[in-house]
C-alpha cells in the first residue's frame, strides 16, 4: 500500500487472526508551518478599506521587531509574551485609529495564537497654513537652533534673521549677501549646526557662490 507525501503516515501492526494496520493520518497544508518546539502568531487586521496599510509594531522574544502592514502569520517564532502597538492609519484624507492601541499576547509552543487589531474611522485629515511672521524676503528655510531664543529664517539673498514671538528682528544674525548668487535656483539654501553649537557657535551653511573670475 502506498501513501502520498502530503500526509504523514504512522503504520502500527497488531498481531492477531487477521492482520490489521492502524493508520494515523495527519493532514498538512493548514498554513501555520509551525514546528513542535516553535510557535506562531496570527495577526488579523480589520476595519481598514482596501489599499490602506496598517501600522502595527510587533516586538517579542529573541529581539523580534516587525512592522505589520496587513494580516499576517508570523511562523516559527519562539514562545513567550509579544507586544503589539498599533498606530493610526491613513487612506486619502480619512483617519483610522486602532480600538486597542497596545496589547500583549502570550504565544504558546506548538500552536498558532491569534491576535486581532481592529481599526475604526475617527475623522478627516485637515491641512492648513498659519502665518508666523511677516517682513522676510524670499525665505527658503526655517529652523529652531538650541543656542538662539527664537526661530531662524533664511532669506535666499544670504541673510539669516531671528523671528521672536512673531516679530522679525531688524538686524540679521548673518549677512553674506555679497558672497551669494541668486540666479536660477541658487541662494542661501539651508544651515546646519554642530552638536557643540551652544559652546562654539560655528554653523555650517549651504550656499551657492558666484563663480570666480580667472586672471589673465
Q: Is residue 33 part of a domain?
A: no
Please check the confidence at residue 25 and state whether its pLDDT lies above 50.
Answer: no
**Predicted local confidence at residue 9, as pLDDT:** 37
Asked whether the beta carbons of 149 and 183 are under 8 A apart, the reply is no
127-140 pLDDT tens trace: 888 888 888 888 87
Side-chain-side CA neighbours of residue 151 (13 Å): 16
From CA 71, how far away is CA 68, in angstroms rounded?
A: 8
Side-chain-side CA neighbours of residue 173 (13 Å): 20
120 and 144 part of one domain: no
94 and 157 part of one domain: no
| Structural domain harbouring 143 | 139-206
Domain's final residue, options 57, 90, 124:
124
DSSP labels for 49-99?
A: PTTPPP-EEEEEGGGEEEEE-S-EEEEEEPSEEEEEEE--EEETTEEEEES
117 and 143 part of one domain: no
* Average pLDDT, rounded, for the chain: 77
Domain's final residue, options 124, 151, 172:
124
Q: What is the CATH number of the domain that holds 67?
A: 2.60.40.1120
115 and 152 part of one domain: no
Q: How many residues does the chain have?
A: 216
118 and 145 part of one domain: no
From CA 7, how far away is CA 29, in angstroms rounded?
A: 9
Higher pLDDT, residue 97 or 177: 97
| All cell numbers assigned to 67 | 512592522
Q: Is residue 147 part of a domain?
A: yes
118 and 146 part of one domain: no
**Predicted local confidence at residue 213, as pLDDT:** 59
**Predicted local confidence at residue 200, as pLDDT:** 47
103 and 58 part of one domain: yes
For a pLDDT cut of 70, what percent of the chain falls above it? 69
Q: How many domains would you assign to the chain?
A: 2
Domain's final residue, options 92, 124, 156:
124
186-201 pLDDT tens trace: 877 777 666 555 554 4
Q: What is the pTM of this model?
A: 0.51
48 and 120 part of one domain: yes
Higher pLDDT, residue 23 or 200: 200
Higher pLDDT, residue 64 or 177: 64
Task: For residue 179, give the H/E element and its range.
Answer: none
From CA 148, how far away is CA 197, in angstroms rounded?
A: 10
Query: What confidence category does residue 21 fall into, taking pLDDT thresholds of 50, 70 and 90?
Result: very low
**Predicted local confidence at residue 186, as pLDDT:** 80
Q: Is residue 45 part of a domain?
A: yes
Please check the confidence at residue 57 and state whether its pLDDT lies above 60.
Answer: yes
**Predicted local confidence at residue 195, as pLDDT:** 57
From CA 176, how far away is CA 179, in angstroms rounded?
A: 5
92-117 pLDDT tens trace: 999 999 999 999 999 999 899 999 99
From CA 129, how far away is CA 196, in angstroms rounded?
A: 33
Side-chain-side CA neighbours of residue 26 (13 Å): 4
Asked whether the beta carbons of 41 and 51 are under 8 A apart, the reply is no
Q: Is residue 133 part of a domain?
A: no
Instruction: Say which residue the cell 589673465 belongs to.
Output: 216
Query: What confidence category does residue 203 fall into, taking pLDDT thresholds of 50, 70 and 90?
Result: low
163 and 202 part of one domain: yes
For a pLDDT cut of 90, what percent of the chain falls above it? 38
Amino acid at each position: 500500500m502506498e501513501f502520498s507525501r502530503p500526509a504523514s503516515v504512522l503504520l502500527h501492526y497488531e498481531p492477531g487472526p487477521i492482520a490489521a494496520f492502524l493508520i494515523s493520518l495527519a493532514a498538512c497544508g493548514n498554513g501555520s508551518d509551525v514546528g513542535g518546539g516553535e510557535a506562531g502568531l496570527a495577526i488579523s487586521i480589520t476595519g481598514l478599506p482596501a489599499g490602506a496599510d496598517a501600522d502595527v509594531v510587533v516586538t517579542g522574544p529573541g529581539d523580534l521587531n516587525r512592522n505589520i502592514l496587513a494580516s499576517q502569520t508570523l511562523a516559527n517564532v519562539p514562545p513567550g509574551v509579544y507586544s503589539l502597538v498599533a498606530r493610526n492609519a491613513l487612506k486619502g484624507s480619512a483617519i483610522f485609529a486602532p480600538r486597542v492601541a497596545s496589547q500583549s499576547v502570550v504565544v504558546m509552543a506548538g500552536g498558532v495564537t491569534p491576535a486581532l487589531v481592529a481599526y475604526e474611522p475617527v475623522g478627516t485629515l485637515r491641512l492648513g497654513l498659519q502665518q508666523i511672521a511677516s517682513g522676510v524676503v524670499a525665505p527658503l528655510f526655517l529652523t529652531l537652533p538650541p543656542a538662539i531664543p527664537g526661530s531662524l529664517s533664511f532669506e535666499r539673498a544670504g541673510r539669516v534673521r531671528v523671528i521672536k514671538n512673531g516679530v522679525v528682528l531688524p538686524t540679521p544674525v548673518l549677512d553674506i549677501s555679497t558672497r551669494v548668487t541668486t540666479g536660477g535656483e541658487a541662494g542661501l539654501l539651508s544651515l546646519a549646526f554642530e552638536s557643540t553649537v551652544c559652546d562654539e557657535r560655528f554653523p555650517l551653511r549651504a550656499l551657492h557662490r558666484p563663480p570666480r573670475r580667472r586672471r589673465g
